[in-house]
Amino acid sequence: MKAIWAAALLALVGGSVADAAAPQRAATHKTVKSRSAKHRKARRPRHHVAPPAEAVAEVASCIPPATPIAGAVPTPLDLYGPIFTEVQQARLFPDSKSFADATPLRARTAILADWCATHPESPDQLHAFVQRNFAVPMAPPIPAANPARPPVQDHIAALWPHLTRPPLAETSGGSALALPERYVVPGGRFREMYYWDSYFTMLGLKADGHGDLVESMLDDFVSLVERYGHIPNGTRTYYVERSQPPMLYLMLALSDANDPALEARRLVALRREHDFWMQPERVVTMPDGSVLNRYYSHADRPREESWREDVALQARTKREAGPLYRDIRAAAESGWDFSSRWFADGKTLATIDTTNVVPVDLNSLLYGMEGAIAEQCRAAADAACATRYDALAAARKKAVETWLWDDKGGRYGDWDIAKKTLRRGLTAATAFPLFTGLAASDRADLVAATIGESLVAPGGLRTTLARTGEQWDTPNGWPPLQWIAIEGLNRTGHETAARELAQRFLATVLHEYRASGRMLEKYDVEQARPGGGGEYPLQDGFGWTNGVVRALIARYGKAQ
């Protein structure tokens, strides 16, 4: 009888969280209603009778009330509570992301009732419970490399179908967000569409004649802004609370669409994204009263996709949990997770303080966004809008040039809010003001010289000069940062330096491709070999690498 009352009570307790997610869903949801043999035998009482007090107490203690992150949507932790945390703590899967991406095999209320009735004790019992109630995804295998090693651009062309996904409808109780059109994923453990990754992927899609996919992905991104007020880090519920570097305006520039209604809808989305970044928590007032921005997170708990790693870091450091987790999540929003840029001591993850940093790359991109909005408003004959965003861009440019410029170092850097000074250390982010057209010409010349003297390695652009073992530090070079620097150098009249950097990076990619047949997410640009570091194994067949390499080949000729 207790089990029956548990199921009934859980239907009430659980319904509130599931219902909270309903307005966010833009697709038809399917609920698998199968139950274990044990629970199929249960029958609803013919007449309402108050449940025993001990059954109420048992359920209340078994399933604590859910507390979703403010402004976000219910995540696997909110929906499954102790089930999620115990699976993660038991290390049932090598990758914390695996269970965060799991799809329930039956109704959430039935899963929670099963948990309360059986509460697995041993790892074997826990594993059996997961198998009984969830489908845990596995990374699809990358197509076997052709031993003949066809030209790398042909290999990339063959990877696009492998990375393309059909429109997606959400599954009730799962973490995937609905997407109305086809999209391209990075690959490997990254089974969903990611925000800033997709811009660099689109560069390659465009070069390979897949303009239709570019347009469908733009439709997906606009739909995300319309549903959530911004583009999430990735298309999972646990990513909704944060975003990534704002590249939507750059993606829109790749579009060949000529539809006034569509352009108007996209402009509305772009302005709404700007509003997201201008929320008070993400705005920093500089010493002269000017305004710049930072990465931020409202969530004060471990990332669900890296639960064990975050909990372990907090245990090692003994830092206050809430601020630590917000700084970790803010670094994930930056895309540079993790880098010495976000470390108070410039060396160790234990000192991460991302929310204390005003990053030059974020503010350069927001400058570009503001200029793009102004231009699109002019095209729509909205003079007031154009004037407003022109003024915002001009004010941001002045603030960046005032506070994020290091004249002695010939670099743009990141502002330390607490210390009221630029942080030490040259990083590839110095190229962003060149990329977005923010940098004054004389300063662009100094940055170009600094990049050539210090950041350019034999195999491409170093991410930083700090050797911390983190993946967004030297000796790693990342495809998106190669593109940003190459484009920035080209835009500011340093075409020879841009071409040389492109050739160095292409040579590194080609060297690894010939050796292993793989396209990797990052490379050691000092030794022309696979990159290292990070919370997960090196990924293959990677979207942004394919995109950047294909776009560079289109510009500079075939790789040999």
Question: Closest by alpha carbon to 199, among 219, 224, 218?
Answer: 218
Give the pLDDT of residue 47. 35
Nearest-angstrom CA–CA distance, 140 and 163: 10
325: pLDDT strictly greater than 50? yes
The answer to whether 338 touches 327, Cβ cutoff 8 Å, is no
52: pLDDT strictly greater than 60? no
For residue 256, name the pLDDT band (cuts at 50, 70, 90): very high
Span 219-232, pLDDT tens digits:
999 999 999 999 99
Question: Closest by alpha carbon to 296, among 275, 277, 318?
Answer: 277
Q: What pTM value is reported for the model?
A: 0.90
Give the pLDDT of residue 2. 38
Q: Which of 192, 241, 337, 512 is catalytic?
A: 337
Side chain identity, residue 468 = T
63: pLDDT strictly greater than 90? no
Nearest-angstrom CA–CA distance, 195 and 365: 14
Give the pLDDT of residue 536. 84
Beta strands 415-416 and 421-422 are: antiparallel
Nearest-angstrom CA–CA distance, 554 and 534: 31
The answer to whether 51 touches 99, Cβ cutoff 8 Å, is no
For residue 210, name the pLDDT band (cuts at 50, 70, 90): very high
Mean pLDDT throughout 136-142?
80
Sequence-ordered list of residues with C-beta below 8 angstroms from that of 101, at least 6 positions apart, any chain: 136, 137, 175, 176, 191, 192, 236, 305
Least confident of 32-41, 124-133, 300-309: 32-41
Mean pLDDT throughout 93-100?
95
Q: Which residue has the tokens 């909005």?
A: 373
% the chain with pLDDT above 70? 88
The yes-or-no answer on residue 337 being catalytic is yes
Mean pLDDT throughout 538-548?
93
For residue 10, name the pLDDT band (cuts at 50, 70, 90): very low
Mean pLDDT throughout 92-117?
94
Mean pLDDT throughout 534-557?
93
Structure tokens at 376: 């699109």
Give the pLDDT of residue 140. 72
The number of helix segments (H) and strand segments (E) in the chain equals 22, 16
Q: Which of 304, 333, 370, 521 is catalytic?
A: 521
Least confident of 8-22, 49-63, 151-165, 459-473: 8-22
Q: Is 45 exposed, middle or buried (0-12, 13-18, 19+ CB in 10 A)?
A: exposed
Q: DSSP string of 95-150? A: SHHHHHT-EESS-HHHHHHHHHHH---SHHHHHHHHHHHEE---PPPPPPPPTT--
Calculate the average pLDDT of the chain. Answer: 89
- What CA dihedral angle connects 468, 469, 472 and 477, to 10 degrees? 110
Span 343-354, pLDDT tens digits:
999 999 999 999
The answer to whether 390 touches 382, Cβ cutoff 8 Å, is no
Give the chain's length. Answer: 560
Cα Rg of the chain, angstroms: 25
Q: Domain locations in the chain?
A: 2-135, 152-262, 427-560
Q: Which residue has the tokens 């010349």?
A: 445
Span 467-496, pLDDT tens digits:
999 999 999 999 999 999 999 999 999 999
Provide the 8-state DSSP code for 30: -
120: pLDDT strictly greater than 60? yes
Nearest-angstrom CA–CA distance, 521 and 510: 14
Give the pLDDT of residue 61. 53
30: pLDDT strictly greater than 80? no
289: pLDDT strictly greater than 80? yes
5: pLDDT strictly greater than 60? no
Nearest-angstrom CA–CA distance, 327 and 352: 6
